[in-house]
Amino acid sequence: MAERISDAEHAVMEVLWDHAPLDAQSIYDRLADSQSWTLATVKTLLSRLVAKDALATEAQGRKFFYRPVIERTAYVAGESRRLVDRLFGGRLSPLVAQFADAETLSPEDIAEIEALLQELKK
């Protein structure tokens, strides 16, 4: 388990993390504005996610309802760590520095992060 989730598959996961159990058609509908996939494509992604144990199904009559097995929190944590390990030697501060240099931090962001750190220090 803990198979790698691809980009396309991730988009499907996001929908399910947002709206609990859904059937294929509903997932397709919700993806409609962000992606221009056919229903068939969405179904393929769903099958692959089930095969990867990232989703579980629950038969409801003749259709399936899909629900995440993996928590979004866990996924996000894993991906974040992967990136930080790969690009910043496992340390978070260089990443923050990187955003600082890019000047992509608003005063609100700065305040928010500071608050977080304050919390941590206690």
Partner DNA sequence: TTCGTATGACTACAAATGTAATCGAAAGCC
Partner DNA sequence: GGCTTTCGATTACATTTGTAGTCATACGAA
CA distance 112 to 81: 21
What are the beta bridge partners of residue 57?
66
Q: Which two tokens stand for residue 110?
A: 């700065």
Size of the site for DNA (CB under 7 A): 24
x/- mask, a copy of itself, residues 57-76, rule CB under 8 A, reads: -------------------x
CA distance 48 to 14: 15
Backbone φ, ψ for residue 66 (5° rounding): -105, 140
Greatest Cα pair distance, the chain, in angstroms, is 55
Stretch that binds a copy of itself, among 21-29, 45-53, 61-69, 106-114 (CB under 8 A): 106-114
Tell me which residues in 8-47 interact with a copy of itself (CB under 8 A). Answer: 10
Among 14, 21, 44, 88, binds DNA (CB under 7 A): 44
| Residue ranges that bind DNA, judged by CB under 7 A | 3-4, 6-9, 23-25, 35-38, 40-41, 43-45, 47, 50, 61-64
